[in-house]
Amino acid sequence: MIGTHATLEIVDGLAWITLVAPQRSLPVLDLALIADLETAVTELERRSDWQGLVVRGREELVFAAGADIDAIAGLTDELEARALIERGQRLYDRIEDLRGRMRGRMVAAIGGACAGGAFELSLALGTILAVEDPRTKIGLPEVMLGILPAWGGSTRLPRRIGVPAALEVILQGRLMGAREAHRKGLVDRLCAKEDLWRIAGELARGTLPLARRTRGLAGLLVDRNPAAIGALAWLARRQVRARTGGHYPAPLEIARVVPQAVLSSRTSSLHLEAELAARLVVSPVTKHLIRIFRLSEEAKGLAKFADGTRAQSPRVIGVLGAGVMGRGIANICAERGLATRLFDIAPAALDTALFEHRAAVESKLKKRRVQRHEALAQLDALDTTAELATLTRQELVIEAVAEKLDVKRKVFRELAARLPADAILATNTSSLSVSAIAEGLPNPERVVGLHFFNPVAKMPLVEIVRGRATSEATLRRTAAFALSLGKTPIITADCAGFLVNRLLGPYLDECVRMLEAGVDPARLERALKRFGMPMGPLELLDEVGLDIAAHAAQSLHSAYGARMQPCGTLERMLAAKRLGKKSGLGFYKHGPRRRLAKDLARFVTQVDPALARLSEAAIAERALLAMLCEAARALEERVVESARELDLATIFGMGFPPFRGGLLAWADELGPRERNARLAALHGGANPRFEPAGRILAGCMFHAG
């Protein structure tokens, strides 16, 4: 039987279903593919001339992604969503029920991506064979989109690997490599790419033995003990609430359905899956998370030229400066397998970089995230030098030296004289003009801003800053490099603060102003964390360093005038040698147990009773509206091309809560009338920090159309 999206062949008593989906680079379980699978299963149910089944991709390293994200995003009716979920469940149930009709096995032959609905298909088949290759990625990432695995994943995985392990896999939503998936029990056997279909066929025929791992008596006792399962469910929900603040409903529902899967019938468990998933699919949180996923996927297009060809990512990297940022950049480059040379004139700084790199790699090795030969390659990828003259063959050099224009120009002049003419010169500056750094250099079109955020290993965003002379080729190659590190790039204009720091400035300043006016610091921190920010503004300032924050504030004030005039508290703290976390004292007293400093009342300069009485919701709103005013200006000035990119930057660059969809999405949910009324009250005709601009002034939606 030949289908358009999935084909069925029966050869020598063995059935082969191949996922084709010719219109896609990677098959997706959309309605067309599901329909072809239904037809294939109907044919298998009708026939008796087969004794084993293999489901495979059209190539060894092309299996399938999950369900159709676009279809999920378009669902707004809960009943319609449930009907689609139940259709997938029925199909996978029919596949599982085929097991009773054969002497052999049903095998999923996986290579490349196998996520979400594709892995749920594999679970229904029962036997899972995977190619041991870095491109093989397996898991159930639904929670990252605000939903739960509802085509049987929340039911079949706990029955396969036990409730505790299944909760970990589904709640993390992380795609894992083949070796880790095998270790956790998601995969039954590994093989080389060239052996995939041969071994799959032998397993399906039953001619190749397969050792089945068991969870042992202790695991079975947990699964069959309602009290133990109830305790696991309670503990999981408690941990989820503590981690998410209750803002994300999907993890709570996962913690409800997964433990019940081992205590109830398949039918009952699937019924609960469908009920909970249908409710989640149409929720605003899910719509926001899917939109963020799409935005991050769109960002991958920045590495392509106008004709669709992909830019080549540099593979030989130089990093100047072994401070916190420089060594963080060098370490992540080496961990990605890029030949990286780190320069600094201080041997101690280079030693620290090598020590941190080794510790990071050994930690991954200990957790079995990498194999020993991969760990050794990552260690070998980083070398250090105290001689700038040794950087002669690098395709990209990133400077992270002192924030002084003359220093940066000097090192780039020296590099330009030694490096090939097409080598990219990237600056990690956060406060200087990229165009100014490029002035007077030969081939200034290769100079670009490449602004990482601290900590480099964890922060997903990279700002790529277009100077006046920066070429399109430089931008695209730099974006390809950022993507090769697993980062999400955005392209910004060359302006003071670029985008993220420009928006953070008024937000943090407004929070400190509220502290000066008598707002209780604990309430201030709690208000923004309850809104969904990952940490309170005072904690963030301490993490950044009050000296760095004060310098950034002065830079923004010099560039943008009165609306960015900083309050005086940071300078007073610096005068008292309070630098934040690095000195042990700032807004917090840092130590074994971090806590707000007890003397913050000394920084209350002029009590404003009205501000001091603000509710926590009003505190958060005031700080965010200050940020919104600057965001509207940045959008009007085309610092980034669209509201979509700005929202992505606020989420990945400053931790704006993803469940709210980004700063501008939040502003749209307030609605233009309500938003403008609240800003008018704060502006009062005179306060420049809340002066409306751009689409705010016009009373428009940011994401209209």
- Rounded (to 5) percent helix, strand, coil in the chain: 55, 15, 30
Q: Which residues contact 346 (CB under 8 A, 6 or more apart)?
A: 322
Q: Name the residue among 253, 312, 318, 334 with its Cα closest to residue 478.
A: 312
Q: Name the residue among 147, 460, 114 with its Cα closest to residue 296.
A: 460
The DSSP string of 349-385 is HHHHHHHHHHHHHHHHHHTTSS-HHHHHHHHHTEEEE
Active site residue 451: yes
Q: Which residues make beta-bridge pairs with 29?
A: 67
Q: Find out whether 87 and 81 touch, Cβ atoms under 8 Å.
A: no
Q: Are strands 127-131 and 189-191 parallel, antiparallel or unpaired?
A: parallel
CB hemisphere CA count around 285 (13 angstroms): 20
**d(C-alpha 69, C-alpha 144), whole Å:** 12
- Hey, what are 549's tokens? 């924050």
**d(C-alpha 698, C-alpha 679), whole Å:** 13
The separation between CA 353 and the C-alpha centre of its own chain, rounded to angstroms, equals 25
Query: Which residue, chain included where needed, has tokens 């749920």?
Result: 120
CA end-to-end span of the chain, whole Å? 44
Q: What is the largest CA-CA distance in the chain?
A: 87
Cα distances (Å, whole numbers) of residue 318 to 187, 321, 338, 388, 397: 39, 10, 10, 10, 4
The separation between CA 498 and the C-alpha centre of its own chain, rounded to angstroms, equals 21
User: Computed over its alpha carbons, how large is the radius of gyration of the chain?
Assistant: 28
Write down the catalytic residue from 271, 288, 451, 703: 451
User: Does the N-terminal peptide bond of residue 455 adopt cis geometry, omega within 30 degrees of 0?
Assistant: yes
Cα distances (Å, whole numbers) of residue 467 to 22, 426, 427, 464: 41, 11, 11, 10
Q: Which residues are designated catalytic?
A: 451
